[in-house]
Amino acid sequence: MNKKIELTEVLSLKYLSKYVWSPDSKDLVYLLNDGGVTNAWVVSVEGSQKPSQITTAAKGVSAIEWSTNNELALVIDGNVFIYSDTYQLKQQITTEGGYRSKIAWSSNGRTLAFTNGKLLSFYDTKTCFVNKVKPLGEVFAGKFSQKVKNTSFAWSPDGSKFLYTYIDLNQKPYLALTNNEGQHIWTSTANSKLLGEAHWVTDSQLVYVLFGHLSVSRSYILATIPPTTEWQDYSHIGAVSKFIMHYEEILVLKVADKKGGMLSNVTPINENELLFGTESDGYFHYYKYNIIEKNLSQLTKGNWEDLGHLSGRASLSPAKSKFVFSSNKTHRTERQLFVYDLSTSSLEQLTHQSVTNVNPVWSPDGCKIAYFHADSQSNGELWVVDYETKTSTQLTDSMPEGLADKLQRPELITYQGAENWDIDAFLFKPANFDPHKKYPAIVWIHGGPRRQMRGSFHPSSAYSRYYALNQYLASNGYLVLSANFRGGIGYGSDFRHGLYLKKGVNDTIDIVNAGRYLKSLPYVNENKVAVYGISYGGYLTLHCLTKYPQEFVAGINIAGIWDRAQWDRWMKSEYGNYSGNTYMGGDIEERPDLWSEASPVTYKNNLCKPLLSLQGTGDMNVDFNQLNRLVKDLTALGAEHDAIYYPDEMHSFRWRHTWQDALPRMVAFFDKHLKQ
């Protein structure tokens, strides 16, 4: 059988994203990205029918939400639609386009809230009337930003009030409340601290987070709305708020040594208890906070992390008596699901499949849990596990026919990085690997840097695509090493904070040592080792080629940062940033030495090896001026480089036709410099 992977197979992969249970717990509706266009699909949990496509979008489906009245709301190509429980179109609510991924049903299923950023809209399913309300500022709805750490867009449990996050003209974030008629009744004040996510605890209480300077602390605030008998109209002085909110700082979390970058989240359990995920003991675990008794008790512990991926969080059972979460308790580079019983304080493992099991969601009846599973030979698929029998069932199969048999299981290795730290990495080898041959090799660098690569497809579609590309490169005669350099998740806060005052320094050494590890292998051609990466990985690629120009023979930079100081100024101008730079010890003028050291442009005169750079002009994470400056500098130096830009493309290229152009260029570049 031909084991060589074709580029068309890599490009034909589809990527699973969000999924939601039907109210009767019989179906799962999910989003599947095929070549950049995301459509909604439905699959029966009982296996009575194969998955079927619900929508036929031109650009994509960006949101799906069920109501308690068995109506499914979707945002399709920027417009809002409602489907029936038989997945038939009932009504198109908007036609003008521009609507975003934030939608929310009221608890009784009567009212649907949605936004285009400039307006809040409330659709009444009984009267079919859309009440359009001008928000107090731009409603944040999915745009990459440093100014808001997760955003709010939610009804109170009784449906009487609506909560949302907005941004004013000065890029400062606020929380605001309307009543169920869309009239504004409260807004928060501008905070010197960075505002984070807010959640309803009861009909009259909210909990939200404020981030301290450099993110070294997080303050959780319990905000209580007074009875309506105490409300008054203050519009004569231009005040929106109709009441004086009562605030109580219930919990402050801090990072030791002011290193910043703490991970945490909060989920209300009931009116008296909150579930916190935080790294207070040095690893990310779960804690319960009692609002009445004002005490925090640790629920899970150990030298592992109860975090499936960067944005992962626990899912409460419908009865609020248990929660399910993903953890690397069984192996540092794998993830399994565990259930914690709040009533008995007991923990049980729910899944046993390698490698990646994340994003668990309880069914409404509490009997099953849907989750994302991926392994070395299977892209992310939707699975469901029966809670009583612990039996798991695969519901979707999106893999191209025959591709799984061509994929190799990457080998987990550990090498020494900077400061003699252990660095995990995965080594991809060709199917017909011969230890007596000499192979060209490539170091692959992930972005983030708060990510962790596994020996499998990834929960993020971007990294799933690069996992497939690394398999493709191995199939074409390369050894590829995927390194989990310092700064990533899965290894505890000390490892994650290893970038403190050392960005572009120790992380770069981690990658340089990955190249040196490859050169030490008897089956690697030590004169033919290259490096490539995306985003932060592109940034480290540029550092490797400028600070250590003799280590790699060539590199590919995809949307990497060339000048960190310029990027930071752009971020503040574009999005606002009020907590300071986490690992740089302060702003540019406070530590210009560190900002200079962290910028590849500082070492540009050293670049003497071929470089290929690629970026989309619509990149919202790294400004396109980074590529412009890079090209300008390297052209002036006469350095060997090539730059490819893709009009309107995103940070991690979205469209299949972009990849159809980019991947052959990347492979041709490696072939030229590593095989000739």
pLDDT digits (tens, 9 = 90+) for 464-520: 999 999 999 999 999 999 999 999 999 999 999 999 999 999 999 999 999 999 999
Q: How far apart are CA 376 and CA 304, in angstroms?
A: 22
Residue 365 has pLDDT above 70, yes or no: yes
Summarised one tens digit per residue, pLDDT across range 449-476 is: 999 999 999 999 999 999 999 999 999 9
The tokens for 2 are 């031909």
Nearest to 431 by CA among 399, 473, 482: 473
pLDDT at 360 over 70: yes
Beta pairing partners, 297? 288
The residue type of 23 is P
Query: Rounded mean pLDDT of the chain?
Result: 93
Share of the chain above pLDDT 90, in %: 85
Confidence at 144, pLDDT banded by 50, 70, 90: very low
Two tokens at 636? 């002036």
Residue 91 is encoded by which pair of tokens?
């009504």
Q: Is residue 464 classed exposed, middle or buried when 0-12, 13-18 and 19+ CB atoms within 10 A define those classes? A: buried
Structure confidence at residue 583 (pLDDT)? 86
- For residue 239, pLDDT over 50 is answered with yes
Decide if 251 contacts 220 (C-beta within 8 A): yes
User: Nearest 10 degrees: CA dihedral of 87, 91, 93, 94?
Assistant: 90
Average pLDDT for residues 249-253, to the nearest whole number?
A: 92
Question: Which pLDDT does position 1 carry in this prediction?
Answer: 52
CA dist., res. 421 & res. 404, Å (int): 34
pLDDT at 148 over 60: no
310: pLDDT confidence band, cut at 50, 70 and 90? confident
- Intra-chain end-to-end CA distance of the chain, in Å: 28
Looking at residue 146, its pLDDT comes to: 46
pLDDT score of 311: 83
Cβ atoms within 10 Å, residue 462: 19
What single letter denotes the amino acid at residue 591?
A: R
Residue 325's DSSP bridge partners are: 338
Helices H, strands E: what count in the chain? Answer: 9, 41
What span, in angstroms and rounded, lies between the C-alpha atoms of 241 and 246?
13
Q: What pLDDT band is residue 429 in, cutting at 50, 70 and 90?
A: very high
Give CA–CA dist 112/121, Å, rounded.
8
For residue range 47-88, what is the model confidence (pLDDT) as tens digits?
A: 778 999 999 999 999 999 999 999 999 999 999 999 999 999
| Range of lowest pLDDT (113-122, 260-269, 433-442, 609-618) | 260-269
pLDDT above 70 coverage of the chain, percent? 97
pLDDT reading at 646 higher than 90: yes
Q: What is the pLDDT of residues 202-213, one digit of tens each?
A: 999 999 998 877
pLDDT band at 155 (very low <50, low <70, confident <90, very high): very high
d(CA 7, CA 406): 12
CA distance 177 to 199: 12
Rounded (10°) angle between helices 461-475 and 656-674: 40
142 — pLDDT class (breaks 50, 70, 90):
very low
Query: How far is Cα 23 from Cα 85, in angstroms, rounded to an integer?
Result: 9
For the four alpha carbons of 630, 634, 640 and 644, in that order, the dihedral sign comes to: positive
- Read off the pLDDT of residues 538-566 as tens digits, 9 standing for 90 and up: 999 999 999 999 999 999 999 999 999 99
What mean pLDDT do residues 251-276 have? 88
CB contact set of 651 (below 8 Å; sequence gap of 6+)? 144, 535, 559, 616, 619, 620, 621, 622
Query: How does residue 94 score in pLDDT terms, banded at 50, 70 and 90?
Result: very high
What average pLDDT score do residues 163-188 get?
A: 90
